[in-house]
Structure 1
């Protein structure tokens, strides 16, 4: 579904990404793990064309989208849920969700209520808070809202950047359970996580990034067992 080939990004004289390559197949959960500054967030931003690529190519459904504008990439079926939630605090839960469909040709007006119902089924807590202001939600609920808003775009691929960041352990478990439910609903997931142990437990495959390069790749099970990963990222 998604192929990243020799992708490089530079910030001034700094190589944020150095010719990384990976692929995401339909129906998979793929995780990118690594320390701060490894290039994980930059990878998603480059795919979405939020940052300029220095070199390399990105293919989605066999189409070269390297130079597509961000809104065009959304229309093709890629949703990007950024780090830090970035919901609209002054809007209600429902208004935040509807905002996720603005300008999106994939969602017709007569399909809006059905899409809302699908999201409320995945996130029943949001149904309970439908008229509550986004800024009054707990951290975990705001993260659910951010993911749900991304799903309102009806994406084929949803990219999640640090969905568990800053959340309590019990909420983190709930978020990862939701990611599995999203996969079961037919979506493909590209997941960035510093909680490597949890990410690898649910991932079909993973890639370890270090200093802008892919250092190790394998199935989630293989990476959990890899001594290099265990020592560097799992604390074992």
Structure 2
């Protein structure tokens, strides 16, 4: 579904990504793990064409999207939930969800209503708070709203950048359970996470990024017990 082929990105004189290649197959949860500054967010922003690329190609559903406008990439069925939630604090929960449908102009009114029901089933707390302003929600609820808003465009692939960042452990568990449910709904998930243990425990496959290069890849559960990964990211 998604293929990155020898991608390099520079920020001025600073190298952010060096010749990385990875694949995401339909129905998979793929995770990118690595420390701060490893290049995880840059990878995701490159896919959405929000940063300039030095070299390499990106393909989505066998189409070259390397230089495709970000809004067109969204309309092709690829949703990007950025780090930091980026909800609309002055809009209600319901209005935030409605805003998510702008990414897919083909949706009918009936389909939008069905997606609202689906999101409320997946995130019951959002249904309880549908008339509240987004800014009045807790951090965990805002993260749920950001993910739900991404799902409102009915994407085939959803990219989640640090969904557990800054959340209490009990909320983190809830977020990861929701990611599994999203995959079970037929979505493909590309996940960036600093919580390597949780991410690898739910991922089909994972890639380890270090200073802009992929140093390891494999099945999630294999990386979870890899001595290098355990030493560097799992505190073992």
Q: TM-score range by the shorter chain?
A: over 0.9
Contact 1:32 1:191 in 2 (8 A): yes
Gaps of 5+ in 2: none
**What does 1:180-195 align with in structure 2 at a 5 Å threshold?**
180-195=180-195
Secondary structure of the 1:51 match is coil
Contact 2:17 2:211 in 1 (8 A): yes
Contact 1:106 1:153 in 2 (8 A): no
Task: Give me the whole-angstrom Cα distance separating, in 1, the residues matched to 2:154 and 2:145.
Answer: 15
Determine the structure 1 residue equivalent to 2:61: 61
Q: Report the Cα offset of residue 61 of structure 1.
A: 0.7
Does residue 86 in structure 1 map to residue 70 in structure 2? no
Determine the structure 2 residue equivalent to 1:207: 207
Q: Report the Cα offset of residue 146 of structure 1.
A: 0.1
With normalisation by structure 2, the TM-score equals 0.99
Determine the structure 2 residue equivalent to 1:141: 141
Q: Relative to structure 2, which stretch is displaced further, 96-105 or 132-141?
A: 96-105
Determine the structure 1 residue equivalent to 2:164: 164
Secondary structure of the 1:232 match is helix
- Give 4+ residue runs of structure 1 displaced > 2 Å after superposition: 103-106
| Aligned length in residues | 236
Gaps of 5+ in 1: none
Secondary structure of the 2:155 match is coil
Determine the structure 2 residue equivalent to 1:155: 155
- Using a 3 Å threshold, how does the CA distance of structure 1 residues 103 and 35 change in structure 2: closer, same or farther? closer
**What does 1:39-78 align with in structure 2 at a 5 Å threshold?**
39-78=39-78
Deviations 1:108-127 (A, max 9, x none): 23321111011111111100
Determine the structure 1 residue equivalent to 2:33: 33
Aligned-residue Cα RMSD (Å) equals 0.7
Contact 2:104 2:154 in 1 (8 A): no
Task: Give me the whole-angstrom Cα distance separating, in 2, the residues matched to 1:60 and 1:219.
Answer: 22
With normalisation by structure 1, the TM-score equals 0.99
Deviations 1:163-210 (A, max 9, x none): 000000000000000000000000000000000000000000000000
